[in-house]
């Protein structure tokens, strides 16, 4: 019995020991699990190879990200950092700068992928650093962030746009002095990329040398594809006095690439001129008839008024006479009309190096606006062999509307007394078709003037106003005065007109001869008080009637002007 009890006690001890061993083992495993939940740590771009891209190609940008700790990183967001857009090798127009990843386990490496990135065509061949930022969450719910750089290599085999002068095409190998010839500049885009917003300018012309024989010296093109050729025409005239030789001109080309980067290039081109012979004459030169001077009688033509246009015609040829010359004149908006003639002028002959003057009477339209209008002169002529030629000249003539300022008669009271202030006035009107500017009105005369200078400013066409001033005659008799109007027209021309007037001034009433004694003062006051009141009333009525009559007359005149 005792033996059985001992065995039972040993069994319970073993059972209890096994239970404690399982509990300790469970606690140890739980502690180990707690140790594995450390924070993750991400390292960007740890790789054995550098990605290589070619300019202009589309590919995927793969960025390796390694978790060097045991803890798992979750909800990962990867962003590309751009400090300078000009140094970023990829096109940003359709590119996303962020991508996401679900998780990276402990001691694992995953790749963030940016799909369909395109390398800029203008990216230079070199190694580019790209900043990367990674935001994530740990299993413990903590926020984490890592940043670093990756490096990509760009290889660019495409050339940026580059415009060059590839040649000059001419009908003849040289330009004869005294003659024009069209040259065509052969321009090539020596790059692979398209040039945009191109401006091609020819410069370096001189008054006595090579001159441009066309209105514009610059050609504008929207685009110029890589390896493409274009021909740009310029018409060049060689002065008759030029000697044989080679003369330089400047070719200036400005343009942009597809990403609005500006480029500029200048080149010299050389043209050969066949100059005058021993006698200073080039017999092969084409004769030219030009208008070397013109005159129309003043600074401008007045709208609605006839004027004479005189033109001097010069035959630039030193050896060839010109005949059967016809000049045809036309004007923009048909502003000018010939008077007592047609719009054509005929000339029989102008000798070599000769000059001849011709004139024609023209009349601008009455309602022509104040500005400069062009007259086009089309010239037809022949040389001694019957060869026909044409030319065109432009003459600019400013036209101005006449200024018309009129005014009424001076209005003044019927009786004026020396030493008594009185008001005079007049009305004035702009009856022309143009603005009157800086109008100033003043009064001068043998009397004292109060507030006589008035600045009206601008008076529009068809508008009216009035002027009044207070004067005080200092003596009796006939006094003279004048109202001055100073103003400018649209061309800046100054005008001054005056309106003269005469006034009949009566002697001032003498003061009372005697002063009544005190006992008679009250009686005297009673005698003159009533007539004074009556006289004052009559004066007020008279002045009021004068003012009302003046306003009535002004209204009638304004109505008649409107009608």
The confidence score (pLDDT) of residue 122 equals: 76
Please indicate, yes or no, if residue 520 is contained in any of the structural domains.
no
- pLDDT at residue 5, rounded to an integer: 59
One domain for residues 114 and 181: no
Are 257 and 355 members of one domain? no
Q: Give the C-alpha separation, 116 to 479, whole Å.
A: 99
Distance CA 542, CA 536 (A): 10
Same domain? For 147 and 71 the reply is yes
> What's the CA gap between 53 and 379, in Å, rounded?
65
Given this model, what pLDDT does residue 535 score? 47
End-to-end CA distance of the chain: 152
Q: Is residue 29 a part of any domain in this protein? A: no
One domain, residues 412 and 396: no
Is residue 281 in a domain? Answer: no
Strands 436-445 and 42-44, sheet pairing: unpaired
Question: For residues 426 and 537, what is the distance between their CA atoms, to the nearest angstrom?
Answer: 27
Render the burial of 313-330: b for 16+ CB within 10 Å, e for the rest.
bbbbbbbbbbeebebebe
CB 450 within 8 A of CB 406: no
Q: Please indicate, yes or no, whether residues 47 and 145 belong to a single structural domain of this protein.
A: yes
Query: What is the per-residue pLDDT for 254?
Result: 95
Domain end residue (candidates: 274, 298, 328): 274
Q: Are both 151 and 66 inside the same structural domain? A: yes
- Co-location of 116 and 191 in the same domain: no
Residue 515 lies in a domain: no
In angstroms, the CA 280 to CA 244 distance is 11
Last residue of a domain, one of 485, 510, 535: 510
Query: Do residue 138 and residue 121 come from a single domain?
Result: yes
Range of the domain at 349: 289-400
Looking at residue 544, its pLDDT comes to 39
Residue 485 lies in a domain: yes
Looking at 229, 248, 274, the residue that finishes a domain is: 274
CATH classification of the domain holding 225: 2.60.40.10
Whole-number pLDDT of residue 116: 86
Looking at the fold, whether 350 and 412 belong to one and the same domain comes out as no
Q: Using CA atoms, how far apart are residues 200 and 195, in angstroms rounded to an integer?
A: 12
| 352 and 336 both lie in a single domain | yes
By C-alpha distance, which of 296, 235, 293, 224 is closest to 257?
Answer: 224
Q: Do residue 392 and residue 449 come from a single domain?
A: no
- pLDDT given at position 152: 92
Task: Give me the pLDDT at residue 283, please.
Answer: 58
Separation CA 355–CA 514 (nearest Å): 94
| Domain identity same for 367 and 343 | yes
Per-residue confidence (pLDDT) for residue 503, from 0 to 100? 86
Residue 362 maps to a domain: yes
Per-residue pLDDT at 452: 86
Domain count, the chain: 5
Q: How much is the pLDDT for 39?
A: 92
Cα torsion 177, 178, 179, 183: sign: positive
The whole-number mean pLDDT for each consecutive block of 10 residues of the chain, a chain of 563 residues, reads: 56 57 49 63 84 88 92 94 87 86 92 89 85 94 92 84 92 85 93 91 93 90 92 92 90 89 92 71 72 89 92 87 94 90 92 91 91 93 90 91 90 87 92 89 90 90 90 88 91 88 82 54 45 44 48 47 41
Please check whether residue 5 lies inside any domain of the structure: no
Within-domain flag for 19: no
**pTM of structure:** 0.42
């Amino acid at each position: 019995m005792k033996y059985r009890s001992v065995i039972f006690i040993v069994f319970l001890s073993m059972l209890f020991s096994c239970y404690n061993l399982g509990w300790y083992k469970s606690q140890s495993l739980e502690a180990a699990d707690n140790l594995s939940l450390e924070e993750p740590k991400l390292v960007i771009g740890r790789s054995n190879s550098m990605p290589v891209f070619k300019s202009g190609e589309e590919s995927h940008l793969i960025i390796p990200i390694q978790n060097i700790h045991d803890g798992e990183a979750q909800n990962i967001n990867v962003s590309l950092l751009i400090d300078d857009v000009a140094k970023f090798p990829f096109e940003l127009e359709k590119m996303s700068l962020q991508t996401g990843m679900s998780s990276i386990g402990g001691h694992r490496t995953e790749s963030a992928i940016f799909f369909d990135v395109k390398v800029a065509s203008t990216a230079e061949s070199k190694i580019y650093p790209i900043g990367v930022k990674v935001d994530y969450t740990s299993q413990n719910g903590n926020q984490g962030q890592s940043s670093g750089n990756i490096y990509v290599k760009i290889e660019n085999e495409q050339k940026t746009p580059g415009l060059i002068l590839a040649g000059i095409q001419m009908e003849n190998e040289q330009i004869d002095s005294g003659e024009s010839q069209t040259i065509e500049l052969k321009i090539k885009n020596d790059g692979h990329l398209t040039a945009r917003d191109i401006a091609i300018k020819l410069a370096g012309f001189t008054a006595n040398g090579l001159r441009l024989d066309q209105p514009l010296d610059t050609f504008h093109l929207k685009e110029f594809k890589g390896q493409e050729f274009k021909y740009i025409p310029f018409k060049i005239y060689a002065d008759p006095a030029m000697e044989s030789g080679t003369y330089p001109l400047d070719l200036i080309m400005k343009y942009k690439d597809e990403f609005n980067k500006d480029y500029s290039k200048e080149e010299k081109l050389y043209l050969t001129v066949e100059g005058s012979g021993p006698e200073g004459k080039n017999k092969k030169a084409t004769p030219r008839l030009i208008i070397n001077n013109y005159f129309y009688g003043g600074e401008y033509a007045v709208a609605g008024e006839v004027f004479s246009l005189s033109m001097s015609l010069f035959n630039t040829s030193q050896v060839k006479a010109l005949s059967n010359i016809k000049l045809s004149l036309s004007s923009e908006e048909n502003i000018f009309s010939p008077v007592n003639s047609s719009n054509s002028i005929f000339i029989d002959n102008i000798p070599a190096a000769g000059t001849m003057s011709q004139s024609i009477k023209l009349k601008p339209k009455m309602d022509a606006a104040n500005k400069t209008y062009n007259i086009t002169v089309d010239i037809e002529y022949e040389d001694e062999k019957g060869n026909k030629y044409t030319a065109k000249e432009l003459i600019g003539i400013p036209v101005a509307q006449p200024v018309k300022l009129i005014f009424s008669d001076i209005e003044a009271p019927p009786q004026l007394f020396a030493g008594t202030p009185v008001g005079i006035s007049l009305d004035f009107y702009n009856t022309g078709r143009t603005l009157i500017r800086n109008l100033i009105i003043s009064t001068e005369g043998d009397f004292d003037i109060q507030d006589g200078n008035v600045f009206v400013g601008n008076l529009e066409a068809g508008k009216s106003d009035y002027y009044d001033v207070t004067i005080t005659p200092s003596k009796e008799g006939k006094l003279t005065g004048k109202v001055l109007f100073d103003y400018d027209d649209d061309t800046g021309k100054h005008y001054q007109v005056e309106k003269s007037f005469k006034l009949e001034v009566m002697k001032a009433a003498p003061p009372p001869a005697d002063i009544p004694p005190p006992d008679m003062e009250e009686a005297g006051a009673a005698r003159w008080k009533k007539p004074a009141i009556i006289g004052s009333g009559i004066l007020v009525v008279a002045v009021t009637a004068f003012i009302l009559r003046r306003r009535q007359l002004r209204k009638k005149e304004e109505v008649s002007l409107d009608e």
